[in-house]
Amino acid sequence: MVHLILAVLVCLSTVNAGPLAQNISPILNTNPEQTLFYQQAQLETSPANFPQPVINGEPVAPVLNTIPAQTRAVENHQLIAAQQQLEQLKAQQLIQIQQQQQEIEAARHFGRL
């Protein structure tokens, strides 16, 4: 049974079962000529072949469309915002702790603790 399946696969993986037969790639489902054409097309249209734009001597990031100085500025703003949020969180926690301490002192004063 296994030999029969292999024989069928070999027959199916050949195009033009004559003297000019070409093997079909089982994964890509293409013949060598199609594969070569695709590879050549990728080489010719690859973004790596395009010149990289430069502004003020700095290369422009292809995805972000920004120069390094702009990227650094955005990252610095994000860092400052994160630090401010952390400070706000610390302040909120201190207020909560002070409120809890006041509640404990009030409970002690009125004899609940």
Please tell me the pTM assigned to this model. 0.45
The CA angle 11-17-20, to the nearest 5 degrees, is 130
pLDDT in tens, 41-70: 776 554 666 777 888 888 887 777 788 888
pLDDT in tens, 71-89: 899 999 999 999 999 999 9
